[in-house]
Amino acid sequence: MYTLIHQDKNSKARLGKVTTAHGEFDTPAFMPVGTHATIKGLMFKDVEEAGAQIILSNAYHVFLRPGMEIIKKAGGLHKFMHWNKPILTDSGGYQVFSLALFRKMHEQGVEFQSHIDGLKHFLTPEDVVKNQEILGSDIMMPLDECVHYPCTKEESRVAMERTIAWAKRSKDARQKDGNFLFGIVQGATYEDLRAECTRRLVDMDFDGYSIGGVSVGESSNLIYNILEMVAGLLPADKPRYAMGIGYPFDIVEAVGRGVDMFDCVIPTRYGRNGTAFTSGGKVSIRNAAYLEDFTALDPKCGCYTCRNFSRAYLRHLFNAKEMLGLILLSLHNIYFFLDLMRQIRQAIKEDKFNQFKQMFLMNYNNQICA
């Protein structure tokens, strides 16, 4: 499944490749998020042309709407959404944690009310695996329990033990070959719990490992420390996925600590709200400063938006409430994140990741855009 191609000589950054039933993708990788079996505001052909090799969808949302029966009749998620490359599906543990109107954790599974219509549901770890097998996911996530930050050590241990028990049940529930199941490391900000959870999951021999329960309110330093510690305990021949890490500077920092895979809704969410990520920092395109600015959104960017449209035009679209504005900014942001990964991979290949990181963070953080 995972091939380690090159280890940067001066950092923990890794260049690799993951092979799935629907093709390969290079790591470090960013996965655009298609929560509801679509990447908001964009067509898949444009996402693919921007360089996406894998996307993420969410089993929780698809389970609620349109439902497993529809997906099954369609022949699986790939056919339903007409995406022929790899798909990773999140189990929905975080969505239950953050979205459900009511939730109650049991040893057997999780009880919750839909945030859509208030209907009650109960899902076991076995249900979650079965649903993802119906979806035809290339990479599946088991049901886990994510805790709030801050939380007590006892609360974190309870959630960690439940996550480990559910991981074992998820592994036992697999019935189909050809897809992969990752273990999810929990333990909040407690290093001993994180280390224990990591060791116990590694002993179960999953296809890859996710670092969950990060970026839920902690400081950046705490997040980085957790990522570095856990990545250092994970096997070198398996991919490492930091769930929900999505700001460019966080991705760069995490890659330097040995993480391989990332996802976040940030590119399209920010794009729909008029904010672009550029090589010089974030740009709020609605600002009056761009009224007569006929330069490209990011002169260093090769995306369709930057090749064809000015900041003045993009500002006009947003102020006129035209759909095209949010589409063009979302497309640019997706391209920016995917191009960042391409640059990272090239830097690792040349053993220059630390130099790349230094220059990227200096340019990104110091050039404050209006």
CA nearest to 239, candidates 24, 23, 28, 22: 28
Count of C-beta atoms within a 10 Å radius of residue 278? 22
Instruction: Provide the strand spans (E) within the chain.
Output: 2-7, 14-20, 23-27, 29-32, 55-58, 87-90, 103-105, 110-113, 120-123, 139-140, 180-185, 208-211, 240-242, 261-264, 275-278, 281-284
CA nearest to 162, candidates 132, 193, 120, 190: 193
Return the SS3 of 307.
Answer: helix
Q: Would you report the helix, strand and coil content of the chain in percent, each value rounded to 5?
A: 45, 20, 35
Q: Quick check: is 263 catalytic?
A: yes
Q: Which two tokens stand for residue 55?
A: 């996307």
Kindly report whether the peptide bond that precedes residue 28 is cis, defined as omega within 30 degrees of 0.
Answer: yes
Radius of gyration of the chain (CA): 20
Q: Are the beta carbons of 122 and 138 closer than 8 angstroms?
A: no
Q: Are the beta carbons of 344 and 252 closer than 8 angstroms?
A: yes
Distances (CA, A) of 79 to 22, 31, 69, 85, 240: 12, 19, 14, 11, 27
Which residues fall within 8 angstroms of residue 267, CB to CB, at 6 or more apart?
32, 246, 277, 330, 333, 334, 336, 337
Selecting among 46, 127, 144, 263, the annotated active-site residue is: 263
Q: Quick check: is 90 catalytic?
A: yes
Phi-psi region of 221 (alpha: psi -120 to 50; beta: other; left: phi over 0): alpha
Q: Are the beta carbons of 135 and 81 closer than 8 angstroms?
A: no
Selecting among 90, 144, 260, 339, the annotated active-site residue is: 90
Q: Which two tokens stand for residue 155?
A: 């609360």
Helices 248-255 & 220-233, crossing angle to 10 degrees? 30
Q: Which residues are catalytic?
A: 90, 263
